Chains A and B, each alone.
Chain A
Amino acid sequence: AQTVTQSQPEMSVQEAETVTLSCTYDTSENNYYLFWYKQPPSRQMILVIRQEAYKQQNATENRFSVNFQKAAKSFSLKISDSQLGDTAMYFCAFIHMDSNYQLIWGAGTKLIIKP
């Protein structure tokens, strides 16, 4: 079975610090995509970053970057210079090419940025 595991239910850091959220996944597929979504208190689900499994280069989006380790099936999210607006639930998700685009979701990590 394909699964996504986020081992940190909750984390908190001071504003401007760097924080890393962990995610591991299990699959026998070779072609797949990985995502981090953010869900702030408004509960709208917002795409943060996406990684194609066939790309060795780690994806980056401004202050957000990933550490993608394909062999280890690990996909961590690093947030640099954290801001109060980064406070949210963060979900890691996985999809493979033949799944009719059905995402497999982790349980989420609640991230609190303290002033």
Chain B
Amino acid sequence: GGIITQTPKFLIGQEGQKLTLKCQQNFNHDTMYWYRQDSGKGLRLIYYSITENDLQKGDLSEGYDASREKKSSFSLTVTSAQKNEMAVFLCASSIWDNYAEQFFGPGTRLTVL
């Protein structure tokens, strides 16, 4: 087994600010993901990384950057926070396989004032 840790749990930002969210996993998984969840909706993929130093865009990559610093960590940056934006960002990891089971972290809740 393993766990996924996301920091911070809550993030409050100002309009136009650059904000960084961090994710760590100790599953020793190759692949990591960032998803966004809007209130009452399902998750949508922002970025994923097949292995260290790899980066792949998801459906929602505009307005975000990502960085896979090492196998166990994957960061997401909101390049310019949008006023009144509220969403939860969830990190996940899996072995590398097109249809592998993904495991999720507890999420970071973003509020932009």
A and B held together in a complex: no
